[in-house]
Structure 1
């Protein structure tokens, strides 16, 4: 069984769409094995977005992602990484088809409801970044 990390972003929280998103994950058979609400500060955001932390647009990402608490999840299931990413749709919500989470309720490239790990190595690193071993239940 594979695991992935998902962050319900500030726009998801602000719009009260967390129930809708969690329901969609549940309907495709994903099991929550870790879940917490947290405020993302500069240190964890710089680590999480290290690949773009030196770019001129990073302050906008940091401002958005730290604007309100988020829900961070670990989902577990067969093929969970690819299945979650397919359910989310493309990163840019404007390009995401209807029926995907981002296509139905996202706004744009950054304001796109959720972050999800893009591969097994990324998922393992992100899970370790956001969760202690004793916070994972499966």
Structure 2
């Protein structure tokens, strides 16, 4: 069964939208197989965002993502990676249609409520980054 890493971002947490977002994932039929809350530090953010860590806008990402604790989830389900991305809508919340998580709850490209894995391969890497294997639970 496919898995995806989800991070409920600081804007989601600040707006008290975690329950709404999690409900949407559960209502879509996905199973939560791991969950925890933590604050992201500079070293983990540089690793997670390595593909843009050398860009001039990275300090803004780092400041935003470390501004408050976030919730990490691992969702499991058939085709979960693409289905979650469809539920979220485009990365830029301003372009996301109503009815999508980002369209309903996000504000812009960075404050877009949720990070979600973009491929099965990256999901595996990201899950390993934030969870130990014994933290994953299955029925």
Q: TM-score range by the shorter chain?
A: over 0.9
The corresponding residue for 1:64 is 64
Aligned to 1:75, the other structure's residue is in SS state: strand
CA distance in 2, matches of 1:43, 1:35: 21
Aligned counterparts of 2:80 and 2:37: Cα–Cα separation in 1: 21
Q: Give the Cα separation in 2 of the matches to 1:76 and 1:51.
A: 25
Q: Tell me how large the CA RMSD over aligned residues is.
A: 0.4
Post-superposition CA distance 1:59-79 (Å, at most 9, x none): 000000000000000000010
Work out whether 1:130 is the aligned partner of 2:118: no
Deviations 1:1-28 (A, max 9, x none): 1000000000000000000000000000
Aligned residues: 138
SS of equivalent to 1:78? coil
**Structure 2: tracts of 5 or more residues without a match:** none
Quote the offset at 1:134 in angstroms: 0.7
Q: TM-score, normalised by structure 2?
A: 0.98
TM-score normalised to structure 1 length: 0.99
Q: What SS class does the counterpart of residue 51 from structure 1 fall into?
A: coil
Gapped runs of 5+ residues in structure 1? none
Question: Distance in 2 between the 1:103 and 1:43 partners?
Answer: 31
What is residue 100 of structure 1 aligned with on the other side? 100
* Cα separation, 2, equivalents of 1:83 and 1:128: 21
